[in-house]
């Protein structure tokens, strides 16, 4: 049996709702940026769409599993760095990243392969501008002209050789290369010399393979013949290394063109590598990778006040700590290169053994680039390398036009609901309008805070969910008011009908909102993209509808039923006059002995 009306204290419910609203808007205005505006999706504020094209070393088609793994890692990076409203989808062999607002640069960083490896520096040479060659007097007869792929200058000739860099291990030191006496197999001894590099400084796939194959002879003693009578293999390997160092161009690629070097992001960690630093100021001959970047357990960035620059701090796992400690102990005074996507980001001298499993990468980092690198390393390297084949700015014009049309339609619908409530329920209709306004203020504050705390962005689909939720909220009021009519129709007064009508109506309201929320939750779980935004706002608004009905609508109706002002409490002014007149001719059902009910005519 329902509690009598006197047991309800409407003031407490209304005070609790007012406290909730005050707390929410205090958080809106006094936390974060303090701006009372929700984050908008790309369809409402515009943004950037970046298309990343996958590349493989052999130029073939990437596997679907690799593409899906890359998409998942990019989504993990999105969640980790807090780029809200970003959508990552697969389009054939491309990964399309859509970012709202002015976060386009962050979207481009999301596609970094972030394949980090640690290599020993065998040789390092500063990059010098190409000198202007003056006209040369033709050589005397019988003197052959050097060919494009002839014997390069001896490593001791250049002004910046292996011994010219402090702490670098000389690449051509005789002690580092075993003698190669016996007749080698023709496939190893006759490795073809690489062709002349193109004018733009890029390296074609065939040349890259030849260079790495020749360097493998130089670095792997098992590939060097044991017969001392044939030392040509070693000499040829040294020659091809020098050719590789001479042929590589450290000129930065044109940002408007995809990188043509097939080794970028695809270098073989088991083979040596000839590459440049990220600034194009130094070229390196590097040994095979002795530790992969997968042995990194954590990465973060900060500003090093002593050096006056941004650095990336790395923490290794147990295996990485041992490898790094052993390497630094055995190579004190030499250089180690941190190679990211085939480029050297830092090549410091090892001054002491590092046994605590921590180190740092220094370089020409800005705060943003250091954070982007740390985040990329923290959340995993991509299984494929990508080039940003397309980056376009998405205008919000179409979305704003759709928003205006949607808001106009929602406003018209809301106005019709208001007119209907005023016509049908009169003063109760005013309570409906007030409850809808308070519900809207609650939803708006929650949207602002969700955008600030979890990066939720409001898009057109989300707004559609909010408009539909207006109908769900209004439906709760209709259920309650119609239940009041049923009670008054049975002969009860308006005051006594309120608690009894609420006791029965709230079960129906809970069932109705429960079904709506369950449908929204299932839709959110199964759907992706914009449909998830629709389901999220629909489910959130359904929950807040219950808050408003319990803490605002019912207490307000209870206050009206107890009002001493005849104008307010008069059922005729509440749209209940007709049912009251009908109920005045009936008396409530009375129970009799035996449990049977007697129905009056």
The domain ranges of the chain are 5-40+397-588, 116-128+153-363
Asked if pLDDT for residue 179 goes beyond 80, the answer is no
What is the percent of the chain where pLDDT is above 90? 16
Q: How far apart are CA 1 and CA 6, in angstroms?
A: 14
Question: In the Cβ-directed half-sphere of 411, how many Cα atoms lie within 13 Å?
Answer: 6
Laid out side by side, the sheet with 358-362 consists of 296-304, 309-316, 358-362
Pick the CATH number of 5-40+397-588 from 1.10.3470.10, 1.20.1640.10, 3.40.50.300, 3.30.70.890: 1.20.1640.10
pLDDT value for 237: 64
The position carrying tokens 């052959």 is 144
228-232, 365-369, 538-542: least confident range: 228-232
pLDDT value for 523: 92
Q: How far apart are CA 254 and CA 215, in angstroms?
A: 28
How big, in percent rounded to 5, are the helix, strand and coil portions of the chain?
A: 50, 15, 35
Type and span of the H or E element at 472: helix 460-489
Q: Which of 146, 243, 239, 255 is nearest to 197 (CA)?
A: 243
Q: How far apart are CA 44 and CA 84, in angstroms?
A: 14
364-378, 452-466, 519-533, 569-583: least confident range: 569-583
- DSSP tally for the chain: helices H, then strands E: 17, 14
C-alpha torsion sign, points 145, 151, 152, 153: negative
pLDDT value for 65: 84
Q: How far apart are CA 473 and CA 523, in angstroms?
A: 20
pLDDT value for 426: 81
542 Cβ contact partners less than 8 Å away, ≥ 6 residues apart? 469, 472, 513, 516, 517, 520
**Coil, strand, or helix at residue 12?**
helix
pLDDT value for 330: 92
Asked if pLDDT for residue 248 goes beyond 50, the answer is yes
What is the percent of the chain where pLDDT is above 70? 65
333-337, 347-351, 373-377, 429-433: least confident range: 373-377
Asked if pLDDT for residue 586 goes beyond 70, the answer is no
**Coil, strand, or helix at residue 339?**
strand
Q: Which two tokens stand for residue 178?
A: 């075993």
pLDDT value for 245: 75
Q: How far apart are CA 138 and CA 142, in angstroms?
A: 11
Q: At what angle do helices 460-489 and 494-526 cross, to 10 degrees?
A: 150
Q: How far apart are CA 205 and CA 261, in angstroms?
A: 8
**pLDDT per residue as tens digits for the range 107-139:** 666 666 667 889 999 888 888 765 545 554 444
326 Cβ contact partners less than 8 Å away, ≥ 6 residues apart? none
Mean pLDDT of all residues in the chain? Answer: 73
pLDDT value for 371: 82
8 Å CB contact between 43 and 464? no
Q: Which two tokens stand for residue 272?
A: 């040596």
Tell me the mean pLDDT in the region 195-206.
45
pLDDT value for 441: 92
pLDDT band at 176 (very low <50, low <70, confident <90, very high): very low
Q: How far apart are CA 486 and CA 492, in angstroms?
A: 9
Parallel, antiparallel or unpaired: strands 116-126 and 336-340: antiparallel
Asked if pLDDT for residue 513 goes beyond 90, the answer is yes
pLDDT value for 120: 92
Residue 548 is given by DSSP the state: H
Asked if pLDDT for residue 221 goes beyond 60, the answer is no
Q: How far apart are CA 491 and CA 499, in angstroms?
A: 15
Q: How far apart are CA 598 and CA 128, in angstroms?
A: 108
pLDDT value for 114: 66
User: Could you tell me where the beta strands, DSSP code E, fall in 63-209?
Assistant: 87-91, 94-100, 116-126
**Residue spans of alpha helices (H) in 331-396:** 367-378
Asked if pLDDT for residue 422 goes beyond 50, the answer is yes
pLDDT value for 364: 77
**pLDDT per residue as tens digits for the range 278-306:** 888 888 888 889 998 888 888 888 898 88
Measured between alpha carbons, how far is residue 432 from residues 11, 398, 423, 477, 582 in Å? 18, 34, 12, 7, 25
pLDDT value for 361: 83
8 Å CB contact between 396 and 45? yes
pLDDT band at 151 (very low <50, low <70, confident <90, very high): very low
Asked if pLDDT for residue 580 goes beyond 60, the answer is yes
8 Å CB contact between 18 and 552? no
Asked if pLDDT for residue 222 goes beyond 50, the answer is no
**What is the C-alpha R_g of the chain?**
37
pLDDT value for 264: 61
21-25, 191-195, 303-307: least confident range: 191-195
Asked if pLDDT for residue 463 goes beyond 50, the answer is yes
Residue 101 is given by DSSP the state: T
8 Å CB contact between 182 and 227? yes
423-432, 477-486, 564-573: least confident range: 564-573
Q: Between these two residues, 213 and 505, which has the higher pLDDT value?
A: 505
Report the chain's terminal Cα–Cα distance, integer Å: 25
């Amino acid at each position: 049996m329902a509690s009598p009306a006197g047991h309800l204290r409407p003031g407490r419910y209304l005070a609790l709702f007012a406290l909730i609203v005050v707390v929410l808007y205090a958080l809106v205005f006094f936390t974060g940026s303090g701006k009372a505006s929700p984050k908008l999706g790309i369809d409402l504020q515009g943004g950037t769409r970046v298309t990343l094209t996958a590349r493989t070393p052999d130029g073939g088609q990437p596997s679907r599993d690799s593409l899906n793994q890359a998409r998942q890692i990019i989504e993990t990076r999105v969640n980790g760095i807090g780029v809200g409203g970003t959508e990552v989808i697969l389009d054939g062999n491309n990964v399309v990243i859509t970012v709202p607002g002015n976060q386009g640069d962050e979207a481009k960083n999301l596609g970094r392969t972030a394949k980090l490896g640690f290599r020993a520096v065998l040789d390092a040479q500063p990059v010098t501008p190409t000198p202007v060659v003056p006209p040369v007097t033709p050589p005397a007869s019988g003197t052959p002209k050097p060919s494009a792929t002839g014997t390069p200058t001896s490593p001791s000739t250049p002004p910046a050789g292996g011994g010219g860099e402090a702490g670098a291990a000389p690449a051509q030191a005789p002690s580092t290369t075993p003698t190669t006496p016996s007749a080698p197999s023709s496939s190893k001894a006759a490795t073809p010399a690489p062709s002349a590099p193109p004018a733009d400084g890029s390296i074609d796939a065939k040349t890259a393979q030849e260079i790495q194959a020749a360097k493998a002879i130089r670095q792997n003693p098992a590939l060097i013949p044991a017969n001392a009578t044939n030392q040509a293999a070693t000499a040829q390997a040294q020659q091809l290394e020098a050719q590789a160092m001479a042929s590589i161009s450290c000129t930065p690629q044109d940002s408007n063109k995809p990188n043509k070097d097939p080794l970028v992001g695809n270098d073989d960690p088991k083979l040596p590598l000839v590459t440049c630093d990220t600034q194009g100021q130094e070229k390196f001959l590097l040994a095979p990778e002795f530790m992969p970047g997968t042995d990194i357990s954590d990465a973060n960035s900060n500003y090093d006040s002593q050096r006056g620059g941004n650095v990336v701090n790395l923490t290794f796992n147990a295996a990485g700590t041992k490898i790094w400690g052993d390497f630094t102990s055995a190579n004190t005074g030499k250089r180690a290169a941190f190679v990211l996507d085939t480029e050297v980001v830092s090549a410091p001298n090892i001054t002491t053994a590092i046994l605590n499993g921590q180190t740092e990468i220094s370089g020409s980092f800005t705060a943003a680039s250091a954070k982007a690198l740390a985040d990329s390393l923290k959340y995993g390297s991509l299984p494929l390398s990508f080039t940003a084949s397309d980056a376009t700015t998405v205008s919000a014009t179409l979305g704003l036009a759709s928003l205006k049309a949607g808001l106009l339609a929602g406003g018209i619908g809301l106005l019709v609901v208001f007119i209907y409530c005023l016509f049908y329920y009169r003063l109760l209709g005013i309570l409906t309008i007030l409850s809808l306004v308070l519900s809207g203020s609650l939803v708006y504050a929650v949207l602002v805070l969700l955008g600030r705390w979890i990066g939720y962005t409001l898009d057109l689909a989300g707004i559609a969910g909010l408009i539909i939720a207006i109908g769900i909220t209004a439906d709760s009021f209709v259920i309650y008011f119609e239940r009041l009519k049923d009670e008054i129709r049975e002969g009860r007064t308006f005051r006594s009908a309120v608690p009894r009508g609420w006791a029965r109506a709230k079960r129906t309201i809970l069932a109705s909102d429960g079904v709506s929320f369950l449908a929204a939750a299932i839709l959110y779980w199964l759907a992706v993209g914009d449909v998830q935004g629709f389901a999220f706002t629909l489910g959130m608004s359904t929950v807040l509808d219950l808050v408003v009905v319990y803490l605002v609508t019912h207490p307000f109706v209870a206050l009206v039923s107890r009002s001493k002002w005849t104008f307010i409490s008069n059922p005729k002014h509440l749209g209940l006059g007709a049912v009251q007149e009908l109920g005045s001719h009936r008396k409530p059902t009375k129970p009799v002995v035996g449990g049977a009910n007697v129905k009056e005519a």
